[in-house]
Amino acid sequence: MKKHLSMLAGGVAAAAFAAGAAQAESVKIGYMATFSGPPGVLGEHNRDGFQLGIEHLGGTLGDLDVEIIEADDQLKPDVGKQIIDRYLQSDRVDFVVGIIFSNVMMAVYEDVVGSETFLISTNAGPSPIAGESCSEYFFSTSWQNDQLHGAAGLQAVNDGVESAFLIAPNYQAGRDAMAGFKREFEGHGTIAGEILTQINQPDYSAEIAQIAAAGADAVFIFLPGGMGVNFVKQYASSGIDLPLYSGSTVDGTTLPAIGEEMMGGYSSPNFWAPDMDTPVNQRFMADFEERFGYIPSVYAAQGYDAAALIDSAIRAVDGDLSNKEGMRDAMRQADFESIRGDFQFGNNHFPVQDWYAGEVVSDDQGRATIALGDMVAEDFQDAYHQDCAMQW
Amino acid sequence: MRLDLRTITVIVVLAGLALMPLLAWAVDEPYWLRFWSRVMILALAAVGVNLILGFGGMVSFGHAMYIAIGAYAVGALRFHGVEGGLPDLLLAVGAGALVALIIGAICLRTAGIYFIMITLAFAQMTYFFFISQEQYGGDDGMRIEGGTRLGPLDLSNDATLYYATFLLLCGALLVSWRLVNSRFGMVIRGARSNEQRMTALGFPTYRYRLTAYVISAVICAIAGALLANLTLYVSPAYTHWTRSGELLIMVILGGLGSLFGPVLGAIALLLLEDVIAHFTRHWQLFLGPILILVVIFAREGLFGLLTPRRQRSHTAGGSHG
Amino acid sequence: MSTTLLLIQTLNGLQFGVMLFLMAAGLTLVFGIMNLVNLAHGSLYMMGAYFAAAATAWTGNPLLGILFAIPATLLLGVVVEFITLRTLYQRDHLDQVLCTFGLILFFNELARVLWGSAAIPMAIPEALTGFVTIIPGLIYPKWRLAIILVGLLVALLLYLLISHTRLGMLIRAGASNRPMVGALGVNISLLFTLVFGLGAALAGLAGAMVAPLLSVEPGMGDPILILTFVVIVIGGIGSIRGAFIASLLVGLIDTVGRSFLPALLRELFQTQSANTIGAALASMLIYILMAAVLFFRPRGLFPPKGR
C-alpha cells in the first residue's frame, strides 16, 4: 500500500525502500485472489487460511519476517495480469501465492514462472499447467481441476450408478468437469444426458425437468458458488430424489446456504474435511473458527498448506531467498506437516493425494458440515502428468 | 489559444504522460510504464466513446464489445500462426468497422434508452459468442503468443507500446477535435439537440450518426488491439457489460462533451480504484458513493471543474441534453 | 420430446416470466413516469431477498420473513429516492445511469459487509414445501406454483390500481404527459416517491419470493437487472401491459429455448460442438428477440401513447 500511494506522488524514496527490502531479512509475498463479486467468498476463505498458516508459524516463514502484498483480481484476467506486473516489476516479490480461478491463472502463469518467481497456486489448476506447460517454478497446494470430477466419477462407479445425467456451465472449466467425470465413469455406466447451462444462471427449473424426463439414476453437477446454491435449492423442492454427485459445488462455502437441503447427501469429493484426523488439522480447526468466526472450507485448508510449504522451502536454504534451486528441491519433498496428512508431489508439482467421498452431517452445534466418507481414490494423480516433460 | 486552466491541464497531463517513462526508468519502476499504458489504452477507448456520447448524445452500453473485437483480432491471428504486424491492425480495424456498420445500422433506428438497451443486447450476444469459441479458449480466454510487430517496432516491448499508445491517444484526440469542429461534427451535435431540425435542413442525420458510430467503434477496436499487446491475453470478460459501464463512467467522470475529459476520467477512475483497493478490500463500498457525489455535485465532470464558472454553460457540447 | 416435459417447461417459463414481471412492473413505472433509469432496481431485489432471509433467521418463519421484506424494501426505496435520486429527475439518462451504477456497487458491497460473502440460507414456508400432482405424471413444486399465483395476483391488482383508481389515473397521466400533471396541481414529488416506493416493494417481493429458490448472495440482482431491462424495452417503456406480455414472452422463450434448442441442434448436426453452440445460442435468444423487436418497433411492443 505504501508503495502504491507513492506512485501517485511519483516518490523516489519508496522505490529505494523496495530495492533495499529485497536483501533484507524478510520474505515478500504477493497474495492475489478474487475478493469481489459473488465468488469473493472463495478468496476470503483462502486468504484466512493462508494467514492462519503464517500465524501458526509464529508470524514468520522460515524464520524470516513476512511482508504480504494483497490484491483482488476481481475475476478479471487483465486486472490479474496488471497486479502480477506490479508484483514482479515494482514490489519484486519472492513468491506469488493464491489465484482462485483458472482463467486468471492462465493469464498470469507464463509471466510469473517466466520471471523465475515461485508461483504457489492455492486453488486454480488448469490442465495445461499440469501437462505440457508445467514449470519448475510452479507448485500447487490444491488439485488439478479434473481430479475432483474424476473422483466424483469414481465415487459414482463405486456406488454402482448405471446412468448419470451431467450439468455444468458452458465454459472451459465446465466442459473440463464433464470430461473429468466421464473419464472415470464411462465404461462402467452410461451418460443419460448432459446440459451446458449459462454462466451465472439463476433458474434451473428447465434443466431439472429434463433430468426427471431422462430416466437417469444419478446426477452429476459442476456448478460452483451461487450457481450450485441455486441448483441445489431448486432441486430439493422439485420432487426428484436421485443422488447428487458434484464437483466444487457442495463445499464449505455453500453449505451455510444449502446445508438443510443436502443433509445426509454427498458433498463434493475432497482430499480434506474438517474432521480429518491429523494433528495439524486439529490445531487448524481449533483456532480457525475462533479467529475468523466461520467453519473453514477446503479453500482455507489449501491456503493454510501454502504457508507451510513456503516455510519448508525457506528453512531448507537458511533464509537465502536467492537459492531458488535449493528451495525448489525442498518443496518437491513436500517435507512439512500438511493439513491433509502425508502426500507427495507428482513430477508436475501437483499433489498426488488420497480422495474421499464427503458426507453432509450436522456438527455439535447443529450446523451443516462435511465429514470424510470412504476413500474413493488412493494416491490419485491427474491425467496430464505424462505430458509434463519435467522429471526429478 | 488562450492559456486558461483547461489548456494548462491538457498540456501538463500530456507532457506528464510523455515524460513518465523517463521518471519510471530513473527510479527503476518499470511497472509504472505498464500501469500508465493501461490507463492510456482505456482513455483511448473512452475518447472513442466520447465521440458519440459526448457530442452525439448516443449512449452506447456496448462499446466494450469493440475492445474485445480488437483484442480477439490480434489473438486469433496469432492463434492461426500469422505473424503480427499489419494484419493485426487491418483485422482489428476492419472487423471493428464491419461489425459496427451492421450493428450500428440496426441500433441507430432506435434512440434514447432504447438505444442504450439495444447496444447492450448486442454486447451480450458478442459475450456469449466469444464464450462459445472453444478453439480460442472459451470463457477462459487465451494467451497471445507475441505482440504486434510493425517494422522495427515491437509492441510487446513495454516502452514501445507505451509510446505507440501515447501517440495513438494524441492522434485520436486530434481526430476528434477536427471531426467535432467540422461540418460533420456540427451535424452530429445538431442532431443531438434537435434531430428534426437537422433532417428538415436536409442533412441525412442517420448516415452521419452511423459514420460517427463506426469511427468511435474503430477507435475502441484499436484500443483493444493495444490492450491485447499489453496483456498478451484476451478473454470474453472484455465484453462484459460492466466494462462498457466503466467506459461510460470514464467519459462522464471526466466531463461530458469535452475533448480531453475522457482522458482525465480514465486516469481518475483507474487511480481511484487502485488507491481505494489498497486501503480496504471493500473498495466498492467507497467507489459507489464517490460516483454518486460526482454526478450530483460535479455535473460537468472533472474537466468542468477546471472551467471558469461563467463560461460553463457555453462549453462546447458541455450542456446536458 | 414428451408432452409432459413440454407442459412442465411451459409452467417453468410462466413462473420465470411472472417473476420477471414483478421486477419489470416497478422498473417500467419508475421509468415511464419519472423518466428515471434505475440500474439499482436489481439491488432492491437483492435487498428484498436479504431482508426476507434475515427476518426468517430471526423469527424462524419464512412467511413472516417474506411479509417483513416487502415494507422493508419499500422503506429502503423511499430512503434511496429521497437521498440520491430526487436530484436526478431533471438530469439526462446518463447521469442517472452513472449514479445508480454507483448504488449497485454500494449495495453489493454493503450486503457483503452486513451478511458476509457467502450465500445465506432461506427456507420455503412449511405449508408450501413439496409438490403437487397437476395431472398424472406431471408433478410441480408448490412453491413455484405459489410464485405464479402471487405474480398473477399482483398483475391483477396493478391493473385495477392503474385503470380504476385516482392514483392510477395520475400514474397513467404521468406516463404520457408529465409536465401537464404537474401543471394541474398534483403533488408530483409525492407521486414520484409513491411510485418509486411501489416499484421498490414489488422488487422486494420478487426477491423475497425467490429467496428460497436462489442463492441469496451479494450481486444476485445483477443478472436479473439486465433481463428486466430487456423485458421493459421489449414491452415498451412505461407500459404495464407491455411489461406483462414481454415478461411472459421472455420467460417462455428463455426456458423453452434452453431446454430444447441444444437437443434440436444435436439432432440436426450430430456433432460434439452442437451442444456448446446450442447452449450459447440459447443464452443469446432473448437478446436476439429484443434486437428484432426494436428493429421493427423501435419503441417496443406497446409504447405509451402521447409522448
What DSSP string describes B139-152?
A: GG-EE--S--EETT
Mutate to test the interface with B, among C81, C99, C299 (most CBs of B within 10 A): C99
> Does B99 fall in a domain?
yes
Whether A243 has its CB under 8 Å from any CB of chain C: the answer is no
* pLDDT tier for residue B311 given thresholds of 50, 70 and 90: low
A32-to-A79, A108, A110, A136, B63 alpha-carbon distances in Å:
11, 11, 16, 20, 29
Chain B residue numbers with beta carbons less than 8 Å from the beta carbon of C36 are: none
In a domain, A389, yes or no: no
Q: Using a CB-CB distance cutoff of 8 angstroms, which residues of chain A are in contact with residue B27?
A: 10, 12, 15
> Does the CB of B106 have a partner CB in chain C at under 8 Å?
yes
Q: Which of B66, B84, B75 is nearest to B133 (CA)?
A: B75
Nearest-CB residue to A170 (from B35, B131, B140) = B131
Q: Which domain holds residue A338?
A: 2-143+276-342
Portion 218-247 of B in contact with A at CB < 8 A: 227, 231, 233, 235, 237-238
Say which residues have a Cβ less than 8 Å from residue B108's Cβ, sequence separation at least 6. Answer: B58, B115, B206, B209, B210, B213
Residues A131 and A84 in one domain: yes
Count chain A–chain C contacts defined by CB atoms under 8 A: 132
| Residues 220-249 of chain B whose Cβ lies under 8 A from any Cβ of chain C | 241, 245, 248-249
Residue C232 lies in a domain: yes
Three-class secondary structure of residue A364 per DSSP: coil
Q: Is residue B293 part of a domain?
A: no
pTM: 0.85
Is there a domain that residue B61 lies in?
yes
Whether residue A391 is contained in a domain is answered as no
Q: Which residues of A touch B22 (CB under 8 A)?
A: none
Residues of C with Cβ-Cβ distance to A299 under 8 angstroms:
none
Cβ separation C291–B118 shorter than 8 A: yes
Residue C15 belongs to what domain range?
Answer: 3-296
The total number of structural domains in chain A stands at: 2
As a whole number, mean pLDDT of residues A191-207 equals: 87
Question: Both A28 and A81 in a single domain?
Answer: yes
In residues, how long is chain B? Answer: 321
Number of domains in chain C: 1
Q: Which residues contact B250 (CB under 8 A, 6 or more apart)?
A: B42, B43, B46, B49, B262, B265, B266, B268, B269
Would you say residue B222 lies in a domain? yes
The answer to whether A170 contacts B143, with C-beta atoms less than 8 Å apart, is no
- The set of residues, in sequence order, having a beta carbon less than 8 Å from that of C5 and lying 6+ positions away, is A209, A210, A213, C259
Does A237 contact C at CB distance below 8 Å?
yes
A72: alpha, beta or left, given left = phi > 0 and alpha = psi -120 to 50? beta
Q: Look at A8-22, A295-309, C48-62, C247-261 and tell me which has the smallest mean pLDDT.
A: A8-22
C-alpha cell at A16: 529505494
Residues 288-317 of A with CB under 8 A from C: 294
Q: Per the CB < 8 Å rule, is A209 touching C12?
A: yes
Three-state secondary-structure class, residue B121:
helix
* pLDDT at residue B298 greater than cutoff 80: no
B318's grid cell: 458541455
What percentage of chain A reaches a pLDDT higher than 90?
A: 65
CATH number at residue A306: 3.40.50.2300
Residue A264 lies in a domain: yes
Q: What is the pLDDT of residues B211-238, one digit of tens each?
A: 999 999 999 999 999 999 998 889 888 8
- Whether the CB-CB separation of B84 and B149 falls below 8 Å is answered with yes
Q: Which residue of A has its CA nearest to C4?
A: A213
Residue B110, min C-alpha distance to chain A (Å): 28
Tell if the CB–CB gap between A173 and B139 is shorter than 8 Å. yes
- B111 contacts on C by Cβ (under 8 Å): 298
Under the banding of pLDDT at 50, 70 and 90, the label for residue A5 is very low
Note whether A150 and A183 are within 8 A (CB). yes
Please tell me the least confidently modeled range out of B7-21, B292-306, C191-205: B292-306
Better-scored residue on pLDDT, A161 or C84? A161
Asked if A356 and A134 count as a contact pair (C-beta separation under 8 A), the reply is: no
CA distance B133 to chain C (A): 9
Within A136-171, where are the H helices? 145-158
Q: How many domains does chain B have?
A: 1
Q: Provide the domain limits for residue B234.
A: 5-241
CB contact under 8 A, A90 and B32: yes
Q: Nearest CA to C138 among C25, C4, C47?
A: C4
Distance from C-alpha of C90 to C-alpha of B256, rounded to nearest angstrom: 16
Closest CB from C101, C109, C273 relative to B245: C101
Closest chain A C-alpha to C209 CA, distance in angstroms: 13
Partner-chain contact C258 A197, CB within 8 Å: yes
Quick one: DSSP state of residue A372? Answer: E
Give residue B2's pLDDT. 59
Q: Do A116 and A232 fall into the same domain? A: no
Q: Does B287 touch chain C (CB under 8 A)?
A: yes
The mean per-residue pLDDT over the stretch A231-256 comes to 90
Answer whether residue A369 is part of any domain.
yes
Q: How far apart are CA A80 and CA A100, in angstroms?
A: 11
**Range of lowest pLDDT (A79-83, A204-208, C5-9, C258-262):** C258-262
Lowest-pLDDT choice from A43-47, A200-204, C268-272? C268-272
Cβ pair B107, B212 in contact under 8 A: no
pLDDT at B84 over 80: no
| Judgement on whether residues A134 and A12 belong to the same structural domain of the protein | yes
Averaged pLDDT score across all residues of chain A: 88
Residue C284 lies in a domain: yes
Which range is most confident: A33-47, A125-139, B243-257, C279-293? A125-139
- Give a yes or no: residue A390 inside a domain: no
ipTM over 0.90: no
Tell me the sheet residues that pair with A64.
A61
Interface of C with B in 266-285 (CB under 8 A): 273, 276-277, 279-280, 283-284
Residue A319: per-residue pLDDT: 92
Q: Does residue C305 belong to any structural domain of this protein?
A: no
* Same domain membership, residue A166 and residue A264: yes
**Cell numbers linked to B176:** 476528434
- Domain containing C263 — which CATH number? 1.10.3470
From the CA of B31, how many Å to the nearest CA of chain A?
Answer: 5
Is A13 near chain C, with CB under 8 Å? no
Does residue A86 lie in a domain region? yes
**CA pair distance B173, B187, nearest whole angstrom:** 19
* Structural domain contains residue C95: yes
Q: Is B87 a domain residue?
A: yes
Given a cut of 80, is residue A35 above it in pLDDT?
Answer: yes
In sequence order, what are the residues at sequence separation of 6 or more whose Cβ sits closer than 8 angstroms to the Cβ of residue B307? B5, B6, B300, B315, B318
Residue A115 in any domain: the answer is: yes
Strand A163-169 with A190-197, pairing: parallel
Using only C-alpha atoms, what is the Rg of chain A? 21
B140:A36 CB<8 A? no
In a domain, C47, yes or no: yes
In this structure, the answer to whether residues A114 and A69 fall within a common structural domain is: yes
- Contact between C119 and A260 using a beta-carbon 8 Å cutoff: no
Per-residue pLDDT, B317: 38
Q: Least CA distance to A197: which residue of chain C?
A: C279
Structural domain includes residue C301:
no
Which chains contact B through at least 3 pairs of Cβ atoms less than 8 Å apart? Answer: A, C
Residue A186, number of CB atoms within 10 A of its CB = 13
Q: Give the HSE-up count for residue C301: Cα atoms under 13 Å, Cβ half-sphere.
A: 20
